[in-house]
Amino acid sequence: MQKKFKVTTQVDPKLPVAANHLQQDFKAMGPNEKWVADITYVWTLEGWLYLAIILDLFSRKVVGMAMSDRLKKEIVLIALTQALGRREVTGSLLHHSDKGCQYTSMAFRDLLEERGILCSMSGTGNCYDNAVAESFFHTLKTEHIYFEEYKTREEAKQSIFEYVEVFYNNQRRHSFLDYVSPSDFENEYQIRQKFSLLGVN
């Protein structure tokens, strides 16, 4: 029988937490200003698969993603490392998450500090503090995962990867972005920035 609920936010009271610097301000003026991160779970006939994502608030694009059968700190480290490898972070960047032990781990906090990224965490028990990440997971599950029955974790990984990287980031039109895809929204922004530098309106 499929389990209906799985806790992913496990707080370690011995680890330090960060203040909520995001304060539910989900708008950004450009890419790589504010990232939000979260973890969810997907049921397969082999057991649970955990999915960690990092989403850029400017374009709602998923910039980092990792999947694992274990809910350990490594899953968020992989997602963050992937995002940093993909994105050219040149200015100040805020990373917001919940207070789960994966995000409060010293290894994760050290990586943020090493890259000069400001760490922000949701208030205790307030799901609205990370509403955009929660909304993405709702979209992923209601548009895709709930229509599938995964026999293996590997099958689920491939299916989720294709939805996120092929469809969601590059094809799915987003109401917040005036009904263009996250990738198209960022491309249009880059074109405007080049014209602005050339003095072209």
pTM comes to 0.90
How confident is the chain (201 residues) per 10-residue block, as mean pLDDT?
Answer: 50 77 96 97 97 98 98 97 95 95 95 96 87 97 97 98 98 95 96 75 59
> What is the structure's pLDDT at 106?
94
For residue 47, tell me if it sits in a domain. yes
pLDDT of residue 16: 83
Q: What is the spatial distance between Cα 15 and Cα 114, in angstroms, rounded to a whole number?
A: 18
> 43 lies in a domain?
yes
Residue 68 lies in a domain: yes
Instruction: Work out whether the CA dihedral 81, 82, 86, 89 comes out positive or negative.
Output: negative
| Long-range contacts from 21-30, C-beta under 8 angstroms, 24+ separation | 21/94, 21/96, 21/118, 21/120, 22/94, 22/96, 22/120, 22/129, 24/128, 24/129, 24/131, 26/57, 26/131, 26/132, 27/57, 28/56, 28/57, 28/58, 29/58, 30/58, 30/189
In a domain, 71, yes or no: yes
Range of the domain at 97: 34-197
Task: Write out the two tokens for 21.
Answer: 């610097």
The amino acid present at 17, given as its one-letter code, is V
8: in domain: no
Q: CATH number of the domain that 172 lies in?
A: 3.30.420.10
**In a domain? residue 175:** yes
The total number of structural domains that make up the chain: 1
Sign of CA dihedral 122, 126, 132, 137: positive
